[in-house]
Amino acid sequence: MTQSQLWAPWRLNYIVNAKEERPTECFLCRYASESKDDTNYVVHRGQHSLVVLNRFPYNNGHLLVAPLDHKGSLSELNDAEMLEMQQLLRRMTEALKATINPDGFNVGLNLGKVAGAGLPGHLHWHIVPRWSGDTNFMTVCNDVSIIPQSLDALYGFLKQALAQ
């Protein structure tokens, strides 16, 4: 039997930090307050919201759309926040179509820890690009995912697409 290796060095940070107690700080609030957009992979800032690359994506191009303010439920959002984030969902799917050409998208919002929210206090939509055949045999091998593009490369593509 031939042994294969998958090289994914960007996952080391997740593995190392998973062994430690996770910080209680909300990373979305930190990103909203900092001006290090390239380091934090903030691809867009609106008046009420921001869009960031997911550092531990389910698939290439996985984005998070979140309000700037720390809000954990839809009822906490005002109309301006809700409208801007819905418009960003549309704009970001178009930017992803233009840059990485997916066949479709999963767009979702996990509300509450039992619903799968990894950050239950700060709601955020997930935009996950999908391609025909992207759920190949690798998912049955210890939940392996293959992400074919670095976050730095995707960040550059999206920033360029949004500037046009």
Q: Which helix (H) or strand (E) holds 71?
A: none
Query: Which position among 62, 122, 124, 126 bears the catalytic label?
Result: 124
The amino acid that residue 149 corresponds to is: Q
Q: Is 4 helix (H, G, I), strand (E, B) or coil?
A: coil
φ, ψ of residue 132 to 5 degrees: the values are: -55, 130
Within its chain, how far is the Cα of 87 from the centroid? 17
Is 62 one of the annotated active-site residues of the chain?
A: no
Upper half-sphere CA count for residue 154 (Cβ side, 13 Å): 25
Q: Which two structure tokens, joined as six digits, stand for 162? A: 């949004």
Asked if residues 108 and 54 have their Cβ atoms less than 8 Å apart, the reply is no
Give the Cα separation of 85 and 106 in Å (integer). 16
How large is the angle between the packed helices 151-163 and 79-100, nearest 10 degrees? 110
Active site residues: 124
